[in-house]
Structure 1
Amino acid sequence: MFGWLWQKNTALSAVVDSFSKTAFPSAATSVQQAPFLVLDFELTGLNPKKDHIVSMGWVPIRQQEIVLAEARHYLISSPVSVGQSAVYHGLHDHQLRQGLELSTVLTELLSQYAGYVFVAHHSQLDEQFLRTACQRCFAKTPRFKFIDTLKIEWQRLLRQGKVVKHDALKLPSCLQRHGLPKMANHHALEDAYSTALLLLSQLKPGGDNMTLADLYLLSR
């Protein structure tokens, strides 16, 4: 009677295994040739141990071009009420009842973007939630490689001798500094798209010679 559950768990586990076996681009790869996937999550809170992802957006970048045809935005059903977090992301419990299961969205993500370098603004938080989500859904977590546009911007400002003021590293401030369009804040897809624009702007000074190794160094 539990055969269907065993088959489902085995299939989900295989998704993680396949992702883990796919090699990332070498550190010597030019950033112009590296495939990136820019991610953003909206959350019920900031603690990955007790809070949950309620929406997910992503935008691929290949050969330094944003692939809008593959941009995705999903509402995700939550096992808990969004509570006061609705003030920030504007999503409410009745909307999330129509959302997808987290495992469904993660399966698409891991199946289609194995071998991609993931990108986020303040990536430490997103990576923690992604790892926790994989552990909850698959009982295992693959290895990810993340680039953090917030840390890249911090390094850029320091090299220019500028004092990094309060809120200077928030996404809207970074977009304004780079002359990029303003977007609605706290919408997973729009924030992912904005972060993709920011990354491409940050990569310009590196020119043709910039490698993933250089980018990882800037993102530490």
Structure 2
Amino acid sequence: MLAWLNNKTTPLSHIVQNFNQVALPAGNIRAADCPFLVIDLELTGLNAKQDHIVSLGWVPVRHYEIVLSDARHYLVNSPVSVGQSAAFHGLHDKDFSHARDLAEVLTELLQHYAGYIFVAHHCQLDLRFLEVASQRIFGKAPKFSFIDTLNIELYRLQKQGIVMKKDALRLPQCLARHKLPQSGQHHALADAYSCALLLLSQLKHSHADITLSDLQLQSR
């Protein structure tokens, strides 16, 4: 097993238990008062049971402010070559000489961001990989609460009666629609930051007192 894991004396499942014990914000809390963590993963493929996380990036959003001082980006050791997935995320095997163990990165994530609402663009993919990896490392999956900026955007467009063109809900197209800056895509931190900008723009175009429950409904 990984050396980092061998040095742990406390059962790793306690990391997930502690995460799950922290209460999430109530549904009636204003979104402005809700702590969000916007996250993005880069992967070797799309099957969470056989593919692997090769990088993670996250950006906290508190009181409608992106907290860049707490943003993080990690390359992650993979048990397999990145192979052809390098064409999408631009990472090659030679780039991982100083990569971190996934167990260490997920432990930091769970210990620092219990009680946060997680955010991603097309969150089901990120959620599935986080759950499978946590189950493998900690013996159980955390109870993440996610909202999805892709589904929120779909809700907005449908409410406006806008007919969507092909790929209209991809992150670059959403950013362009909101007149937000584009960054190099398929970099975990850059995409997390872009997703955070999109979330703030979506909130700006909503009513001032939008609640977490409102967002969760839009995100379904």
TM-score bracket for the superposition, by shorter chain length: over 0.9
What 5-or-longer segments of structure 1 have no aligned partner?
none
Report the equivalent of 1:55: 55
CA–CA distance in 2 between the matches of 1:207 and 1:98? Answer: 45
Q: In structure 2, give the amino acid aligned to 1:65.
A: E
CA–CA distance in 2 between the matches of 1:25 and 1:120? Answer: 18
The yes-or-no answer on 1:110 pairing with 2:110 is yes
Identity %: 60
The answer as to whether partners of 1:39 and 1:119 remain within 8 angstroms in 2 is yes
Q: In structure 2, give the amino acid aligned to 1:143.
A: K
Provide closer, same or farther for how the CA distance between residues 82 and 7 of structure 1 changes in structure 2, counting only shifts above 3 A.
Answer: closer
Report the equivalent of 1:158: 158
Per-residue Cα deviation, 1:142-168 (whole angstroms, up to 9, x for no partner):
101001000000111111111121110
Q: In structure 1, give the amino acid aligned to 2:203.
A: L
Q: In structure 2, give the amino acid aligned to 1:114.
A: A
CA–CA distance in 2 between the matches of 1:6 and 1:59? Answer: 30
The answer as to whether partners of 1:9 and 1:138 remain within 8 angstroms in 2 is no
CA–CA distance in 2 between the matches of 1:60 and 1:6? Answer: 30
Map residues 54-133 of structure 1 onto 2, 5 A cutoff. Answer: 54-133=54-133
CA–CA distance in 1 between the matches of 2:175 and 2:209? Answer: 25
The yes-or-no answer on 1:178 pairing with 2:178 is yes
| TM-score, length-scaled by structure 2 | 0.95
| TM-score, length-scaled by structure 1 | 0.95
What 5-or-longer segments of structure 2 have no aligned partner?
none
SS across alignment from 2:8: helix
User: Bigger shift: 162-171 or 111-120?
Assistant: 162-171
Per-residue Cα deviation, 1:14-71 (whole angstroms, up to 9, x for no partner):
2111100000000001000000000000000000010000000000000010000000
Per-residue Cα deviation, 1:96-134 (whole angstroms, up to 9, x for no partner):
242100000000000000000000000000000010110
